[in-house]
Amino acid sequence: MATYPLVAHDETDEARAAGRKYLAYTFFGGGVLVLAGTALVFVLAGTTTFGETAAGLASADPTLARAAFAILAAGFGVKAALMPLHSWLPDAMVAPTPVSGLLHAVAVVKSGVFGIARVVLEVFEPELVGELGVGIVLAAVAAFTLTAASIIALRADRLKRRLAYSTVSQLSYIVLGLGLAGPAAVAGVGLDTVVRGGLLHIPAHAFMKLTLFFCAGIIHVETHTDYISEMNGIGKRMPLTMTAFAVAAAGMAGIPLVAGFVSKWFLLVGSVEAGQAVFAVVLVLSGVLNIAYFWPIVYGAFFESHAATDGKPLVEGPLGGYLGRSATADDSEAIADGGEPAPGENARDNEDAESHDNEDADHTHHDHEHDDHHGGSGPGGWDRAGWTGGEGSWLMLGPILAIAAGSIVLGILPYEAAFLELIELVAEGVSA
């Protein structure tokens, strides 16, 4: 209820529709399901006190216990953006960038995965989750979500929309670790590891995704650029911003020395230890997809210019590669990050062209160097800002660089950052 006005902040038709959808999904959908699941747990276990419910649920009808788990997982899964309950999250990216950071990195979506963590670890407890067979189902839903969302992100040209689908994918890493807690408890090995990986990805993702959304925000404020296809060479105009973006993107893909590597390493090792190697394969595949949808942004920013671009075969064709295009087709026919539009759709995330034109018309600010230009470098290319902060206000750059540095600290010194030590205490308590 408190965040609804933030989503609808711009008061456009698109923002109001996104706000209504957000409220319908998270409050009337997720909230009602959580309440219903809690009531069913009370009926079955006679209590709703954490740590005391598992004994009652273990002696209850297994079908009803599974139903209670499914209802609670679905209720919290709305906020955790598990497919097919995810569509509110990409639409909510119409909110201002600080709100997007709140929704996608810190508060709302993390309350969803935190709720699932409490259900798995304290309401049902991992051993009962494994005995009921619901953990493997939860892990399978998470594996599907993180893979499908990564594939969808490949075709999103709007930067914040690509980041939104990245959020859908990354949240499922956390849910995957929690789902694997059940099979790991039954197998008697790997429980500590998967719990560490899942829970550590909560702060790891927060550092990295906040960096990415804040980078998208300063790019919009300073250059009015929202589309990846307009960002070639922007590293010349915003070197510090795009360097921070590259660091966070590397962490999202699980590259060593950044926060995402540590949590994904625990998940990878834990899934193998628990005898669920298929999920390790999914994790590796998702890491490759992360590189595929982040690398074109970083490469284009630093190694291309507005006048000279390289082909990106992973994202230009409708099915990848250059399928559907003749070998002699003019390069101008390629549409970045989506191939040719389907009938009745345009190439930019299937957004209505008139809506996009109206959005551009609403801008009242202009780029400092190109007063008549909205989005992209303009006919003269990007001006070089240098590495001393000329690309924008330090009130914006400072937090971006600080949070990006935090993701590196968490990747190199996870114990010193306190998060891993705290999570290990939780994992040890669960095992005990």
State CA 127 to chain mean position distance. Answer: 29
Q: What is the mean pLDDT of the chain?
A: 80
In this prediction, residue 408 carries a pLDDT of 92
Closest CA to 407 of 195, 208, 174: 208
pLDDT of residue 376: 62
Phi-psi region of 227 (alpha: psi -120 to 50; beta: other; left: phi over 0): beta
Residue 250's pLDDT is 93
pTM given for the model: 0.81
Q: Which residue has better confidence, 169 or 346?
A: 169
pLDDT of residue 331: 42
Question: What confidence score (pLDDT) does residue 309 get?
Answer: 56
Per-residue pLDDT band for 109 (boundaries 50, 70, 90) equals confident
Q: Name beta bridge partners: 199.
A: none
End-to-end CA separation in angstroms for the chain: 38
- The per-residue pLDDT for 30 is 77
Structure token pair of residue 201 = 């990805």
From residue 49, alpha-carbon distances to 52, 53, 54, 155 in Å are 6, 6, 10, 45
Mean pLDDT of all residues in 25-46: 87
> 240-265 burial, b if ≥16 CB within 10 A, otherwise e?
bbbbbbbbbbbbbbbbeebbbbbbbb
Which amino acid, 337?
D
Q: Under 8 Å CB-to-CB from 265, ≥6 apart: which residues? A: 197, 254
Among 210, 9, 207, which residue's Cα sits nearest to residue 92?
Answer: 9
Nearest alpha-carbon partner for 365 in 219, 237, 235, 223: 223
Q: Is 31 exposed, middle or buried (CB count within 10 Å of its CB: 0-12, 13-18, 19+)?
A: middle
Amino acid at the residue 72: L
Give pLDDT, residue 377: 60
**Per-residue pLDDT, 234:** 86
What's the sign of the alpha-carbon dihedral 31, 35, 37, 38? Answer: positive
Return the residue matching tokens 């909510």. 92
Residue 80 has pLDDT above 70, yes or no: yes
- Coil/strand/helix, residue 362: coil
Model confidence band, residue 310 (pLDDT cutoffs 50, 70, 90): low
Whether omega before 239 lies within 30 degrees of 0, making that bond cis, reads: no
How confident is the model over 249-298, as pLDDT tens digits?
999 998 999 888 999 999 999 999 988 899 999 999 999 999 999 998 99
- pLDDT tens-digit map of 191-241: 889 999 999 999 999 999 999 989 988 898 888 888 888 888 888 888 899
pLDDT at 314 over 70: no
* Overall average pLDDT of the 324-341 stretch: 41
Q: How confident is the model at residue 27, as a pLDDT?
A: 78
Euclidean distance between CA atoms 117 and 425, whole angstroms: 15
Please enumerate, as own/partner, the contacts of 14-22 that have beta carbons within 8 Å and a separation of 24 or more: 14/94, 14/355, 15/94, 15/95, 17/91, 18/88, 18/91, 18/92, 18/94, 18/95, 21/87, 21/88, 21/91, 21/92, 22/88, 22/91, 22/92
Whether the per-residue pLDDT at 40 is higher than 90: the answer is yes
| pLDDT tens sequence across 350-389 | 444 444 444 444 443 433 434 444 566 666 666 677 777 7
Q: Which two tokens stand for residue 430?
A: 């669960």
Taking CA atoms, 181 is separated from 58, 128, 131, 387, in Å, by 17, 10, 11, 46
pLDDT, tens digit (0-9, with 9 covering 90-100), for 160-186: 889 989 999 999 999 999 999 999 998
Q: State yes or no: pLDDT of 415 exceeds 60.
A: yes
pLDDT at residue 66 is higher than 90: yes
Q: What pLDDT is stored for residue 357 in this prediction?
A: 44
Give the pLDDT band (50/70/90) at residue 345. very low
Q: What's the CA gap between 199 and 30, in Å, rounded?
A: 21
pLDDT at 305 over 50: yes
Task: Say if residue 2's pLDDT is above 60.
Answer: yes
| % of the chain at pLDDT higher than 70 | 81
Of 106-115, 126-135, 269-278, minimum mean pLDDT range: 106-115
Q: Rounded to 5, what percent of the chain is helix, strand, coil? A: 70, 0, 30
User: Percentage of the chain with pLDDT > 90?
Assistant: 34
The mean pLDDT of 402-416, rounded to a whole number, is 88
Residue 149: predicted pLDDT? 92
Residue 381 — left, alpha, or beta (φ > 0 → left; ψ -120 to 50 → alpha)?
left
Q: What angle do CA 420, 421, 426 make, to 5 degrees?
A: 90
CB 267 within 8 A of CB 177: yes
Q: Is 151 exposed, middle or buried (0-12, 13-18, 19+ CB in 10 A)?
A: middle
